[in-house]
């Protein structure tokens, strides 16, 4: 395993400015710079470092190789009733997904629901972001995503990596409180979390990985060094079943590509199948809100005389966000150096990047 490494701490506005400058230097227009930097930094703020700025070396590296297109708009390939299909054509995923989700919301506002597929996009990041975009407009939404990249997850009882971490997200808006956001990979851990552990030189939790012989291991190198092992799916057969459904819905049904062979290119390809529903148009808004709140009060009520805190999906991320806005965003040194290296590769100087980001060696508060 690699040696444990240190970390730097960054203030959110300065890190945002750095990421915007990096994408602008690489060629993104101001709109795209804003979308992608906000998305990646929100992932860090919410504690999902696996899907934050640590993805930039892969994104910009792929842009340099022609494996991802900047300033690209998704192409509408089907518009029929409440169904929309878009082809992302390997455009930057955050631009693709922001635009298609906007269109799905608009369709659900007029017809009550929208079944939307985005196929062949470059990586679309933290899927909860798309649930949040829907919830902010009062829409309930479900999102099933497949990943075509280097296979990283073994099927249940399989001994080798055959598929990606296929995430699922469900967004549930509330009347007065923040939305409930269900958002997870169908693997026991996300690949990015193994990368973060590998970069930090720390082991991962037991049960999440098998090694190249199919034996359990906690060494994150199993994913990054030969002989390659694999992640396991969460909840034994249940995560595998859900991951399978992601391939069927997001890729096969949407006209995209399943992970049906070894990695054939550097692009990280996501296809997403989304269902966006308007409670207003369903005519159930009143009961939806009142039943939801009644359920939340009930599940959060501890037994008489006992103390317990039951969080809702989305709560841990909001708490982490408040903390990181105050104390700063920690970035391990390996990730930080990879970020500076790709910045140099797209044409920025290290000095310019350090002057914008102004990293600290310790938390800010």
Residues in contact with ligand NAD by the rule CB under 6 A: 48, 50-51, 123-128, 145, 147, 165, 167, 169, 181-185, 189-190, 193, 270, 311-314, 316-317
User: In the complex, what is the shortest distance from the CB of residue 224 to ligand NAD, in angstroms, rounded to a whole number?
Assistant: 16
Q: Which C-beta is closer to ligand NAD: that of 313 or that of 359?
A: 313
Residue number, 87 or 183, with CB nearest to ligand NAD: 183
- At closest approach, how far in Å is the CB of 180 from ligand NAD? 8
Minimum CB separation of residue 348 from ligand NAD in Å reads 26
Q: How far is the CB of 318 from ligand NAD (least distance, A)?
A: 9
> To the nearest whole angstrom, how small is the minimum distance from the Cβ of residue 88 to ligand NAD?
12
Instruction: Please list the alpha-helical segments (H only) found in the chain.
Output: 12-26, 30-45, 56-64, 93-111, 128-135, 191-200, 221-224, 237-246, 279-282, 285-300, 315-327, 333-346, 350-357
- Angstrom CA distances, 82 to 25, 78, 195, 353, stand at 39, 10, 39, 46
CB of residue 188 to ligand NAD, shortest distance in Å: 8
Taking the least distance from each CB to ligand NAD, the nearer of 87 and 317 is 317
Residues 364, 179: Cα–Cα separation, whole Å: 29
Question: What distances in angstroms separate CA 188 from CA 162, 232, 237, one per listed residue?
Answer: 15, 6, 11
Q: With respect to ligand NAD, which residue has the nearer C-beta, 114 or 145?
A: 145
User: For ligand NAD, which is the closer residue by CB, 140 or 348?
Assistant: 140
Considering the complex, state which of residue 244 and residue 356 has its C-beta at the smaller distance from ligand NAD.
244
* Cα–Cα distance for residue pair 45/311, rounded to 1 Å: 18
For residues 168 and 247, give the distance between their C-alpha atoms in angstroms, rounded to a whole number: 11
Do 164 and 199 contact (CB within 8 A), yes or no?
no
Q: Judge whether 252 and 258 are in contact, CB under 8 Å.
A: yes
User: Closer to ligand NAD at the Cβ: 51 or 200?
Assistant: 51
Nearest residue (CB) to ligand NAD, 135 versus 340? 135
Nearer to ligand NAD (CB atom), residue 153 or residue 221: 153
Query: Shortest approach of ligand NAD to residue 344 CB, angstroms?
Result: 26
Give the helix ranges, DSSP H, for 83-236: 93-111, 128-135, 191-200, 221-224
23 φ/ψ angles, rounded to the nearest 5 degrees: -70, -35
**Whole-number minimum distance, CB 111 to ligand NAD, in Å?**
27
Please state the closest distance from residue 98 (CB atom) to ligand NAD, in A. 14
Q: Which long-range contacts (CB under 8 A, 24 or more apart) does 324-327 make?
A: 324/12, 324/44, 324/45, 324/47, 325/12, 325/45, 326/364, 326/365, 327/9, 327/363, 327/364, 327/365
**Cα 219 → chain centroid:** 23
Give the DSSP letter string of 160-199: S--B----EEEEE--SSSPPEEEEE-SBSS-HHHHHHHHH
Distance CA(210)–CA(220), nearest Å, equals 10
């Amino acid at each position: 395993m690699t040696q444990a490494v240190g970390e730097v701490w960054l203030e959110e506005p300065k890190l945002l400015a750095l990421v915007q400058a990096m994408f602008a230097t690489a060629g993104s227009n101001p709109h795209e710079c804003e979308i992608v930097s906000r998305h990646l930094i929100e992932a860090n703020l919410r504690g999902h470092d696996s899907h934050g700025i640590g993805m930039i070396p892969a994104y910009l590296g792929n842009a340099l190789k022609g494996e991802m297109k900047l300033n690209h708009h998704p192409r509408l390939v089907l518009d029929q009733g409440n169904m929309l299909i878009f082809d992302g054509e390997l455009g930057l995923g955050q631009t693709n997904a922001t635009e298609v989700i906007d269109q799905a919301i608009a369709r659900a506002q007029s017809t009550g629901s929208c079944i939307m597929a985005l196929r062949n996009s470059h990586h679309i990041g933290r899927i909860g972001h798309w649930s949040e975009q829907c919830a902010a407009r009062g829409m309930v939404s479900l999102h099933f995503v497949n990943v075509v990249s280097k296979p990283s997850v073994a099927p249940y009882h399989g001994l080798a990596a055959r598929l990606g971490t296929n995430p699922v997200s469900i967004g549930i808006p509330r009347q007065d409180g923040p939305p409930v956001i269900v958002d997870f990979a169908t693997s026991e851990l996300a690949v990015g979390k193994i990368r973060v552990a590998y970069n930090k030189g720390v082991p991962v939790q037991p049960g999440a990985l098998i090694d190249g012989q199919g034996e359990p291991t906690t060494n994150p190198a199993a994913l990054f060094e030969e002989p390659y092992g694999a992640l396991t799916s969460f909840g034994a057969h249940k995560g595998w079943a859900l991951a399978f459904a992601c391939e069927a819905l997001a890729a096969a049904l949407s006209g995209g590509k399943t992970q049906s062979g070894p990695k054939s290119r550097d692009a990280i390809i996501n296809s997403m199948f989304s269902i966006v529903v308007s409670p207003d148009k369903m005519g159930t808004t009143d009961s939806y809100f009142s039943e939801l709140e009644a359920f939340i009060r009930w599940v959060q009520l501890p037994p008489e005389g006992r103390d317990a805190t039951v969080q809702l999906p989305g709560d841990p991320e909001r708490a982490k966000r408040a903390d990181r806005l105050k104390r700063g965003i920690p970035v391990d040194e390996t990730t930080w150096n990879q970020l500076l290296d790709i910045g140099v590769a797209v044409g920025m100087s290290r000095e310019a990047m350090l002057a914008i980001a102004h990293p600290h060696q310790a938390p800010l508060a």
